[in-house]
């Protein structure tokens, strides 16, 4: 009887998980297309590529610096509590939305006025013409801060009411708009051919279309959440009576979260400043310095490696976070450890495989995002080098993400801040050492390696603190699962590497010759690796594989065999 009662809930969770994961997957695929098209339009390891990347990323980092942690973590428990009121949280949510609009509007206006000084402060050794170009891009990109805030608060209201899907699918609209914008750019102004001085030929129309289109995508991402929000029936309205809405209590919680986000994102800004030195270092280099990765290449490598984390770890953690929160509120602390263990072991299946796949396919994946210029293979190799180094820390990144959700669910924002501070200090120290001892042409590679090292360290610290407070969550079983899965993934990687060698992936052959060649090689090698991997896990009777494929297997009976 108890099992029968739990089935409907399990089915709903599986359906929600599938919808969220599919939304994230579609969004990431479109994001890949957008990034690949941008490389076709302006290049990847190029001056213009790095300048635009700098201006377009600053709003994201600043939003996370100012308020990202508050929206994404602290307010969820508050909104869940408010949703249990007689008005389903209508009054509280109205006040919160109004407060968000006012604060983010003021912040966006101020940041836009400071676009020039921000670009100057956050770059290293840029020439006056590079600074002027970066400032022009920033004026058009900075309004994104406001719409990121609107998107975040609307999304968390939906999540608090169990409507996860819209929040995960909204970025799809953003990516569609940006793909259309970049496609239009290529049609009107042509693709980057390599070798020319982009700064000397760049026009105002190009700036408006490229940067304005990027901001338009973020606007649409926020606006599309209006419809599912209205369907909640909360009757939201402007409400400036912020007194009594618990801002003081939220402020105490947010103080630590804001401190954590400030530490982490200040570290990101400092690291990006260091990496920006690669752009002027290319001046006068053979082939325009196409083999020198910079900020665009580094961010692209992170975009690629974060895909499995976003699809599997982030999606499952978002759902389990609500279960953590409810367990704490209802004093069911004994359920925390099993939930954490289940989440860690289940996500090991895709995350560990993805890590090996990224290592094997680093070259073709880099080529995919290197455009079609005369130096594309060199640019692709530069991205591939960063991808290989970044991928090494992926399993630890996802493990850390899961573990700190336990602290957030208990409304403990101090512990994650302390972890973040330690990691930031270590990371900046290593980055500063790299800048002082290595040439600017090598900073991006050093930074990719540092990211992997700090991911390992953050997971170890989070593990120690979780065990100390909540007791062991079955860490020996989790480690055993990761080792078993890693062995199977490595065997599949050996097979994949042999197939990729036949495609010329390591000899500048078919796999590196064009975007189409890279796509074909990635598809074939990835499919072979996945088949070998799943067969090996099935033969070893892996419980983690059954847990991971459970929702799919219920619909495809053949997978149960």
| Contact present, 151 and 223 (Cβ < 8 Å) | no
Examine residue 465 and state whether it is found in any structural domain, yes or no.
no
Cβ atoms < 10 Å from Cβ of 453:
17
pLDDT, position 323 = 79
pLDDT, position 109 = 95
- Could you tell me the maximum CA-CA distance found in the chain, to the nearest angstrom? 75
Examine residue 346 and state whether it is found in any structural domain, yes or no.
no
Examine residue 397 and state whether it is found in any structural domain, yes or no.
no
The one-digit pLDDT tens for each residue of the chain (561 residues) are 344 444 555 555 556 656 666 777 788 889 999 999 999 999 988 999 999 999 999 999 888 877 666 665 566 667 777 777 767 777 778 888 888 889 899 999 999 999 999 999 999 999 999 999 999 999 999 999 999 989 988 888 887 777 777 888 899 999 999 999 999 999 999 999 876 678 888 999 999 999 999 999 999 999 999 888 888 877 777 877 777 665 566 666 567 767 777 788 889 999 999 999 999 998 778 877 888 999 999 999 998 998 888 778 777 777 777 778 877 877 777 778 888 888 898 889 999 999 999 999 999 999 999 998 888 999 999 999 999 999 999 999 999 998 988 888 887 878 888 998 999 999 999 999 999 999 999 999 999 999 999 999 999 999 999 999 888 888 999 999 999 999 999 999 999 999 999 999 999 999 999 999 999 999 999 999 999 999 999 998 888 887 777 654 444 444 445
pLDDT, position 379 = 93
Examine residue 403 and state whether it is found in any structural domain, yes or no.
no
Examine residue 162 and state whether it is found in any structural domain, yes or no.
yes
**Whole-number Å distance between alpha carbons of 304 and 297:** 11
Note down the domain range covering 39. Answer: 10-244
pLDDT, position 193 = 85
Examine residue 184 and state whether it is found in any structural domain, yes or no.
yes
Examine residue 34 and state whether it is found in any structural domain, yes or no.
yes
3-state secondary structure 51-69: HHHHHHHHHHHHHHHHHHH
Domain count across the chain: 1
Examine residue 197 and state whether it is found in any structural domain, yes or no.
yes
pLDDT, position 282 = 86
Q: Which of 303, 348, 270 is nearest to 171 (CA)?
A: 303
Q: What is the DSSP string of 216-234?
A: HHHHHHHHTTHHHHHHTT-
**Whole-number Å distance between alpha carbons of 198 and 61:** 26
pTM of the model: 0.84
Cβ atoms < 10 Å from Cβ of 395:
25
């Amino acid at each position: 009887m108890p099992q029968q009662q739990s089935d409907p809930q399990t089915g709903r969770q599986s359906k929600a998980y599938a919808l969220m994961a599919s939304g994230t997957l579609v969004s990431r695929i479109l994001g890949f297309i957008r990034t690949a098209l941008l490389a076709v339009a302006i290049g990847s390891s190029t001056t213009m590529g790095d300048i635009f990347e700098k201006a377009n990323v600053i709003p994201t980092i600043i939003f996370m610096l100012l308020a990202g942690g508050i929206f994404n973590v602290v307010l969820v428990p508050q909104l869940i509590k408010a949703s249990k009121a007689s008005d389903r949280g209508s009054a509280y949510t109205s006040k919160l939305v109004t407060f968000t609009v006012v604060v983010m509007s003021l912040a966006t206006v101020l940041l836009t006025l400071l676009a020039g000084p921000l670009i100057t402060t956050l770059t290293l050794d840029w020439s006056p013409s590079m600074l002027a170009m970066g400032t022009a891009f920033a004026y058009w990109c900075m309004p994104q801060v406001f719409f990121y805030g609107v998107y975040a608060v609307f999304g968390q209201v939906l999540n608090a009411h169990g409507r996860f899907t819209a929040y995960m699918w909204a970025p799809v609209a953003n990516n569609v708009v940006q793909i259309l914008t970049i496609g239009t750019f290529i049609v009107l102004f042509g693709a980057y051919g390599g070798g020319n001085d982009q700064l000397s030929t760049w026009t105002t129309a190009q700036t408006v279309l490229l940067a304005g289109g990027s901001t338009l995508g973020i606007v649409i991402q926020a606006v599309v959440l209006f419809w599912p929000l209205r369907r909640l029936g909360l009757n939201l309205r402007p409400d400036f009576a912020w007194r009594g809405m618990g801002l003081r209590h939220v402020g105490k919680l947010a103080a630590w979260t804001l401190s954590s986000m400030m530490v982490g994102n200040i570290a990101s800004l400092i690291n990006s400043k260091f990496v920006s030195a690669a752009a002027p270092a290319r001046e006068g280099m053979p082939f325009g310095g196409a083999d020198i990765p910079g900020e665009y290449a580094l961010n692209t490598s992170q975009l690629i490696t974060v895909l499995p984390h976003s699809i599997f770890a982030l999606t499952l953690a978002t759902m389990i976070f609500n279960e953590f929160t409810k367990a704490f509120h209802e004093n069911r602390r004994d359920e925390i450890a099993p939930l954490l263990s289940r989440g860690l072991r289940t996500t090991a299946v895709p995350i560990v495989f993805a890590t090996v796949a990224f290592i094997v396919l680093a070259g073709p994946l880099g080529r995919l995002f290197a455009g079609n210029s005369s130096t594309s293979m060199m640019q692709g190799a530069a991205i591939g080098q960063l991808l290989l180094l970044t991928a090494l820390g992926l399993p630890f990144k996802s493990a850390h993400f899961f573990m700190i959700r336990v602290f957030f669910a208990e409304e403990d924002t101090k512990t994650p801040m302390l972890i973040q501070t330690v990691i930031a200090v270590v990371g900046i120290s290593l980055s500063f050492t790299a800048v002082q001892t290595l040439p600017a042409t090598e900073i991006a590679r050093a930074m990719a390696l540092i990211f992997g090292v700090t991911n390992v360290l953050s997971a170890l610290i989070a593990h120690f603190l979780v065990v100390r407070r909540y007791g062991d969550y079955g860490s020996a079983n989790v480690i055993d699962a990761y080792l078993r899965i890693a062995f199977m993934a490595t065997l599949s990687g050996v097979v994949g590497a042999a197939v990729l060698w036949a495609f010329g992936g390591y000899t500048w052959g078919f796999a590196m010759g064009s975007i189409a060649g890279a796509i074909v090689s990635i598809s074939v090698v990835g499919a072979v690796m996945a088949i070998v991997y799943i067969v090996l896990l099935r033969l070893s009777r892996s419980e983690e594989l059954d847990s991971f494929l459970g929702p799919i297997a219920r619909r495809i009976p053949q997978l149960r065999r």
